[in-house]
Amino acid sequence: MPTQVNQSTFLADTVILLRDEILDNITDPISASRNSTQKFVITSYPRRNVTYPVVTVIDRGISDWRQSGMQSTISVQRLGIEIRIWARSHREKDELSQQVMDRLRSRVVTFSSTEKLHGMKIDSMENVDEPGENGIKSKIINISFLEILEN
């Protein structure tokens, strides 16, 4: 049931594809107690109170765009995606981050053959933790895909 990445909506489709990939394959540690109005995986930063852990999937834009030749109708671009794990503890953050990374690595070939997202690259991974024992712990995973589109 993968989301198809349509060339006219490839930005939103890629974010939704990754959101669904995480939602369908990573277990929410608090699914039994999570309020039904709250989500485990979302496509924007939380704007209201949330129950952690939460995973956000955000489009970071296109970092490299090229036309494949002088008179070609094909363009190649690298689309950046930020996946951020927001958690209650370092352990929870690290476990969820590892699960996300393992899932993404397991899909590299099928991302390319099924959804036409080529050359998945892990651009960076960094911890961004709020201070204190009760501060929210988070890890930002920046990935990118090479997308080839016909104009």
Token code pair at residue 105:
């690595």
CA max distance for the chain: 58
On whether residue 1 sits in a domain, the answer given is no
Q: Is residue 54 part of a domain?
A: yes
In whole angstroms, give the CA distance from residue 102 to residue 120.
Answer: 13
User: pTM to 2 decimals?
Assistant: 0.88
**Pairing mode of beta strands 54-67, 41-42:** parallel
The conformation of residue 88, written as its DSSP 8-state character, comes to S
Residue 2 maps to a domain? no
Residue 42's domain spans which residues? 7-150
What whole-number distance in Å separates Cα of residue 35 and Cα of residue 38? 5
Work out how many domains the chain is built from and give that number: 1
- pLDDT of 98-149, one tens digit each? 999 999 999 887 887 777 788 899 999 999 988 888 899 999 999 999 887 7
CATH code for the domain in which residue 146 is found: 3.30.2000.10
Confidence of residue 1 (pLDDT cuts 50, 70, 90): very low
